[in-house]
């Protein structure tokens, strides 16, 4: 077995290789003068099981091309099995034709990953579980929520509540909270008048309690910022924002902290300064 690190996931790939106890090959990635990607993975792949680790975060299109080239190269050089590990799966939120004529982008990405040579694929907390059904190869969606829960447990919070920003994310809150037997709930919107909507936890009172908001992804930060502001008004003490994928586009981290969150806690599916939890153990365990 050999782990190959794509340029978007160098640190995570090294952690996965360490957990699996196998060698690591760091792909050489540069550019041709005209801007095309050049990729080289200098290793004898014959009869190896190659694990290609590459998130397709920003710059998404470059990282995708690199992933396709690495999968195809490992196969072409004789790997007996090629596993794609795409910890953050870009384009996952364009999973429907919301307007006539739109590309269902994630479906195209699934086809291309498979066609490039993946024999199986692992990802983490993908936007919708159903996306995995686009693959004909074995496809596994892992979760980082237990790891996030274990990290939060070490913060020794006061009377903690784990909150999902909406009902769709409740399963994440439940999983993280289970690690330290905390209460969990989700933020529920109620329409008071035609112009006034209020938001509050569905069952629990957060006053004088520490709160951890958990979601799969923080992108612009809009969802979390709205939640932080409301929870502050409702008397929450320290508020933490936790997610699997710290996309954190356009100054989101600064805005979340300015809104009153104490800290943003994220994983290394996207390698960022907030990535304090590594998903390597769940990936290695699943591959094993
Ligand atoms: C929505 O379905 C997701 O779970 C996140 O809540 C959302 O993508 C976060 O986006 P933003 O940070 O831009 O509000």
Q: Tens of pLDDT along 208-231? A: 999 999 999 999 999 999 999 999
Q: Are the C-beta atoms of residues 11 and 268 closer than 8 Å to each other?
A: yes
User: What pLDDT sits at residue 153?
Assistant: 97
CA atoms within 13 A on the CB side of 158: 9
Instruction: State the alpha helices, DSSP H only, in the chain.
Output: 10-20, 60-76, 105-116, 145-153, 170-178, 222-233, 252-259, 280-287
Ligand 1: list residues with CB < 6 Å.
165, 168-169, 215-223
DSSP β-bridge partners for residue 147: none
Q: Point out the ligand 1 atom lying closest to the alpha carbon of residue 215.
A: 4
User: What pTM was estimated for this model as a whole?
Assistant: 0.95
Report d(CA 257, CA 184) in Å as an integer: 22
Q: Which of 124, 173, 217, 272 to mutate to test the pocket of ligand 1 (most atoms within 8 A of CB)?
A: 217
User: What pLDDT sits at residue 200?
Assistant: 85
Write the burial class of residue 102 (CB in 10 Å: 0-12 exposed, 13-18 middle, 19+ buried): exposed
User: What pLDDT sits at residue 85?
Assistant: 99
Active site residue 189: yes
Q: Which of 219, 249, 264 to mutate to test the pocket of ligand 1 (most atoms within 8 A of CB)?
A: 219
Report d(CA 267, CA 159) in Å as an integer: 24
pLDDT along the chain (288 residues), means of 10: 98 98 97 97 96 98 98 98 98 96 97 98 96 98 98 96 95 98 92 75 92 97 94 96 97 97 98 98 98
Please list, residue by residue across 223-235, b when 16 or more beta carbons sit within 10 angstroms of its beta carbon and e when fewer do: bbbebbebbbeee
């Amino acid at each position: 077995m050999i782990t190959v690190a794509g340029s978007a996931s160098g640190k995570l790939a090294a952690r996965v290789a360490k957990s699996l106890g196998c060698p690591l090959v760091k792909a050489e990635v540069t550019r041709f003068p005209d801007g095309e990607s050049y990729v080289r993975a200098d290793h004898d792949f014959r009869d190896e099981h190659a694990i290609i680790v590459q998130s397709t975060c920003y710059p998404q299109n470059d990282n995708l091309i690199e992933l396709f080239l690495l999968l195809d190269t490992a196969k072409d050089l004789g790997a007996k099995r090629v596993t794609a590990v795409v910890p953050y799966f870009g384009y996952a939120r364009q999973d429907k034709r919301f307007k006539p004529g739109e590309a269902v982008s994630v479906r195209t990405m699934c086809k291309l990953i498979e066609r490039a040579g993946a024999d199986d694929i692992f990802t983490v907390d993908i936007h919708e579980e159903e996306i995995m059904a686009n693959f004909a190869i074995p496809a596994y969606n892992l979760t980082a929520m237990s790891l996030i829960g274990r990290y939060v447990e070490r913060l020794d919070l006061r009377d903690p509540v784990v909150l999902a920003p909406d009902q769709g994310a409740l399963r994440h809150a439940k999983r993280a909270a289970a690690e330290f037997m905390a209460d969990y709930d989700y933020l529920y919107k109620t329409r008071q008048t035609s112009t006034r909507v209020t938001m509050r936890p569905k069952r629990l009172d957060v006053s004088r309690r520490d709160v951890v908001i958990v979601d799969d992804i923080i992108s612009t930060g809009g969802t979390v910022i709205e939640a932080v502001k409301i929870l502050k008004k409702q008397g929450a003490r320290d508020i933490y924002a936790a997610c699997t994928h710290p996309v954190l586009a356009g100054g989101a981290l600064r805005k979340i902290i300015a809104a009153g969150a104490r800290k943003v806690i994220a994983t290394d599916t996207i390698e960022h300064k907030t990535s304090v939890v590594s998903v390597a153990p769940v990936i290695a365990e699943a591959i094993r």
